[in-house]
Structure 1
Amino acid sequence: MATIEPTARRKIVLPAPPYTVDDLLKLPDDGNRYELFNGSLVVSPAPTPLHQRAIYRLAHILTDAAPPGLEALPTVNVCPGDKDFYIPDLVVVPEAVSESVGLMFAPSDLLLAVEVVSPSTKMHDRGAKAAAYAAAGIPLYWRVEPEPGPALYVHELEGDSYRDPSVYKAGTTVTLSTPYRVSFDPAELFGRRLSNP
């Protein structure tokens, strides 16, 4: 059994692993991100301001470029099965699906999943998440690495795994055609905004 102590006064006792999505939904909304990978619980702290900046800016870039019927959404729930529950930093989905979905998206709803790497999640984002997203059939996975770059790693699904990623470094404008045409420099995601003229 695992004990989670969100506050000094309240304890939540989970059954012995492997955990299920039902177990996960009993956890408190305490600012941490709780995910499941094949029944294993992964807890991440709330994102840093720079992490949030990158998510917000990329969401804005993707939203501005999106054709009618598609949209970018931050931190949604994705549930491929009873022992898996993911919360990507950003996804692209059809608007019609997001209007009808309840608490959780199915992996088949996603055209793109994005993770912005932070010190506490880098090993997970580079390995376990990439493998899990590929196994779930998510066709496109972008990993944004702030250090030493920033850089964008684009993983495209081939069969049941991702091909080696294409890497785009800061200082170069990236033009991608999937999930739709979009152009940006990875440096835009973290740097200070220039003042308006």
Structure 2
Amino acid sequence: MPEKPPSLPNWVFPPPEGFVAEDLDRIPELPAHTELIDGSLVFVSPQRDFHTSALYLLEKALRGSAPSDHRVRREMSVRLSATQRPEPDLIILGPGARIQPDATFYDGDDLVLAVEVVAPASKVRDRERKPLLYASAGVPHFWRVEDQEHQLMVCVYELDPATKTYVITGIFHDRLKVSVPFAIDIDLTEIGQL
């Protein structure tokens, strides 16, 4: 007699109006790092070593550069609207951010910078959809990090407040040196030593 397939959890079937941001905290046994994009659940693929190394390098540098009234967080979701709760790879929270030890997400208006390290399985989301969401929510700075032959390429964007769109301010390969949102100087070639 064939084995009965396991029953699927209820959350596999979205409600007709889609999921909302609060659902990520209420759904039992939801896979870690699940995002909400346009009311749909998005599951994260396994990370490559390059992705982890890039995050380590950037997080360490940002923590060392950030003013004392800013906070760096890794892989925390951000509530941008009722149906948008992405999980940037790194974020910087500005002064006045509501930081609580039991928080499962931050509000988009608390962000100063969102960073996405592009992964093969999420290229379209990381390059196209998420930047639009962050810009629409008014996040002032966005970095897109790419793997270029196992070296870092960081595309730096700043929000044009009049159009609520990002404008590229630089593409960095060996060294990332910017003055906003605060003075940052990162040797990107260090990824080869991690």
Amino acid at match of 1:117: V
Q: Which residue of 1 aligns with 2:171?
A: 167
Q: Which residue of 1 aligns with 2:16?
A: 16
Alpha carbons of 1:68 and 1:23: their partners in 2 closer, same or farther (altered >3 Å)? Answer: closer
Q: Which residue of 2 aligns with 1:132?
A: 133
Specify the SS of the correspondent of 2:121: coil
Report % sequence identity: 28
Alpha carbons of 1:35 and 1:74: their partners in 2 closer, same or farther (altered >3 Å)? Answer: same
* Long gaps (5+) in structure 1: 1-7
The answer to whether structure 1 residue 176 and structure 2 residue 169 are counterparts is: no
Q: Which residue of 1 aligns with 2:3?
A: none
Return the TM-score normalized by structure 1: 0.82
Alpha carbons of 1:27 and 1:187: their partners in 2 closer, same or farther (altered >3 Å)? Answer: farther
Farther off after superposition, 98-107 or 149-158: 98-107
CA distance in 2, matches of 1:95, 1:111: 9
Farther off after superposition, 14-23 or 153-162: 14-23
Specify the SS of the correspondent of 1:128: helix
Per the TM alignment, residue 57 of structure 1 is displaced from its structure 2 partner at its CA by 1.5
Q: Is the 8 A contact 2:36 2:86 kept in 1?
A: yes
CA distance in 1, matches of 2:10, 2:48: 26
Q: Which runs of 4+ in 1 moved over 4 A?
A: none
Per the TM alignment, residue 53 of structure 1 is displaced from its structure 2 partner at its CA by 1.6
CA distance in 2, matches of 1:79, 1:46: 23
Q: Which residue of 1 aligns with 2:142?
A: 141
Alpha carbons of 1:139 and 1:95: their partners in 2 closer, same or farther (altered >3 Å)? Answer: closer
Amino acid at match of 2:54: A
* Long gaps (5+) in structure 2: 1-5
Amino acid at match of 1:167: I
How large is the Cα RMSD of the aligned pairs? Answer: 2.3
Q: Which residue of 2 aligns with 1:155?
A: 157
